Amino acid sequence: MKLKTEQKVNATIIGTNGRLSTLGAFQVVENALTELTGELKIDGITEKEKYNAIWVFVKTRIKFFSSILWNEKLSVTSFISFKSLAKINFDVEAKNAVGELVFYARVEACALDIATMRIRKLVSVGVDETMQAETPTMDVEFANANYTNFEKKETIRVRSTNIDMSHHTNNLEYIRFILNTYSVSELETKIVKEMEVVYVNQSFENDELDVLKLSEQNKDVIYLQKENKPIIKCEILF
């Protein structure tokens, strides 16, 4: 199943330059996947109430191809691109009004049992044989590389509005923490070509996260850590 929606680039997903922001693209991806899983009856609320499970993102990688302005039309297509015993990939493709690719994303996810926090088999959380994987329209490879020699930028505290309905830090809030390491000028002038986020561990309300950053020629790597244990690993290519 492929779910296609037509929308506009509204004010909640643009940056200071009036164009779809990097954070906004992640918002589009999250909304697309919640709508897709809702259509498939495996959304977060259903998982919690019917299967006593929660979805967690393992990795997300987005490739950016063109910019798009506020109020322009955005066509978003989402679908399952891979599934195994316990892992599922979702792809999200976004195009402008003339069919040009704006971005392409891949999200790797799994389901956790609420009581044990162990990974559940997909068949035990409603993902059945009718939910076939579609052929991806683009090759997306996860890097998941390890780095050292970081510079500590700041320490932030996870607050109540950063928490989602699973009572851990919302995925989008991590993107916000990462992008806050850049100035307004940098966000307006540095063109993000690809961005990968690896969700290593969960964090919760009142946790303190150290933000570490390493900058190379055309790449930045940002880690979020709690008590020296990695929570998030991020790679941004410019």
CB atoms within 10 A of CB 82: 14
pLDDT computed for residue 146 by the predictor = 80
**In this structure, are residues 76 and 92 in contact, taking their beta carbons and an 8 Å threshold?**
yes
State the pLDDT at residue 199: 96
Kindly report each contact of residues 41-46 with a partner whose C-beta sits within 8 Å and lies 24 or more positions away, as own/partner: 41/126, 42/125, 42/126, 42/127, 42/131, 44/165, 44/166, 45/165, 46/126
- CA nearest neighbour of 198 among 218, 178, 181, 182: 178
Quick: pLDDT tens for 153-162: 999 999 999 9
pLDDT at 149: 85
Residues of the chain with pLDDT under 50: none
Report pLDDT for 145: 73
Cβ neighbours of residue 29 closer than 8 Å, sequence gap 6 or more: 60, 62, 92, 105, 107
State the amino acid at position 100 in one-letter form.
Answer: E
